[in-house]
Amino acid sequence: MLVGSIEAGGTKFVCAVGNGDYQVKDQVRIPTTTPAETLKRTADYFKRHPVSAIGVASFGPIEIRQNSSKYGFITKTPKPGWQDTDFVGYLKRELDVPIFFTTDVNGSAYGEYVMSTLSNEKIDSLVYYTIGTGVGGGAVVNGQLLGAIGHPEMGHVLLKRHPDDLDFPGVCPFHGDCLEGLVSGPTFEARLNRPGEDVPFSHPVWNILSYYVAQAALQVTLELRPNKIIFGGGVSSEKFLQKVRRDFAKLLNGYVEVPGLERYLTMPEIPNNGSATVGNFAMAAKLLRE
Ligand code: ZN
């Protein structure tokens, strides 16, 4: 049995074909241009590489309520040209296979969850944050994705401001200084006029970012009590997580018991940004089983 994965990002679509063990058999990267062109190239790929079902993890916001007339749409995205795009409807018409549609971070969270069930780790709850061009978070609790009237939007929570960062207004077009507005990749340009990859870890801005990310980790720890919290995306790195763990330990202040922080606040287990692809394969396979 072959299953498909579409990881729909703001700069590229990664389409892949996998087998029942979630191994990638073929993969292609399609640049994200207009919806018409990008979706046509995506459908053409799966016409050449037929699969029995497809899992889609998309940038958002997206409509995931099955009873909505806009189910399967990308909705209010700031990405030019992509507002109100009928993503699932187009693929269904072109490919006629079952499609599971979720957010990019939910796909990644589910991939990491599935991987843990295949390893000795066998955890049943985790949170996955991506910290990159935007910030988002997805959660698996007792093996299920969270969210009823929509998907979680953990990137837009409000935080206590760092005392050395009070003048920075943040970059979120909706909230200014929400988590995304304070720690996403574009905040480096906004604060320092240079990209994050040019800012050494000795720079104090990393302590400001780690304070905010640690607060997000604290909140989700207290709200969901997951087995672990994973950080992906271009801003995340092991060096950055060392700072986050330090700040998290201070903020938690021993209030509840959590696993060792090296294991609790961690990078993805699946290498090369592959979490969402595994998650998509697994969700497609789950659709076929149901
Ligand atoms: Zn926001």
Do residues 54 and 99 touch, judged by C-beta distance below 8 A? yes
The better pLDDT of the pair 20, 276 is held by: 276
CA of 118 to the centre of ligand 1 (A): 35
The per-residue pLDDT for range 126-167, each reduced to its tens digit, is 999 999 989 999 999 999 999 877 889 999 999 999 999 999
pLDDT digits (tens, 9 = 90+) for 65-89: 989 999 999 998 878 899 999 999 9
Regarding pTM above 0.85, the answer is yes
Burial label, 149 (beta-carbon count in 10 A; 0-12, 13-18, 19+) = exposed
Give the per-residue pLDDT at 54. Answer: 98
**pLDDT tens track for 179-189:** 999 999 999 99
Q: Give residue 230's pLDDT.
A: 98
- Going from the Cα of 176 to the center of ligand 1, the distance in angstroms, rounded, reads 6
Return residues with CB closer than 5 A to ligand 1 (ion).
Answer: 156, 172, 174-175, 178, 180
140 CA to centre of ligand 1 in angstroms: 22
Rounded distance from Cα 130 to ligand 1 centre (Å) = 14
pLDDT in tens, 199-208: 999 999 999 9
Q: 46 CA distance to ligand 1 centroid (A)? A: 35
Instruction: Please give the distance, rounded to the nearest whole angstrom, from the Cα atom of residue 241 to the centre of ligand 1.
Output: 22
**Amino acid 77: pLDDT:** 85
SS3 at position 187 = helix
**Length reported for the chain:** 290
- pLDDT on residue 119: 86
H or E element, residue 136:
strand 135-141
Dist. CA 120–CA 141, nearest whole Å:
18
Taken in order of first residue, the domains within the chain and their CATH numbers are 3-103+272-289 (3.30.420.40), 120-266 (3.30.420.40)
Strand partners, 4: 17, 54
Q: Cα of 155 to ligand 1 centre, how many Å?
A: 7
The CA 17 to ligand 1 mean position distance, Å, reads: 34
Ligand 1 centroid–CA 153 distance in Å is 9
Q: At 134, phi and psi to the nearest 5?
A: -125, 180
Q: How far is the CA of 23 from the centre of ligand 1 (A)?
A: 36
Q: How far is the CA of 99 from the centre of ligand 1 (A)?
A: 29
How does DSSP classify residue 182? H
146, 100 contact by CB (below 8 A) = no
For the segment 21-44, the average pLDDT, to the nearest whole number, is: 97
| pLDDT for the residue 33 | 96
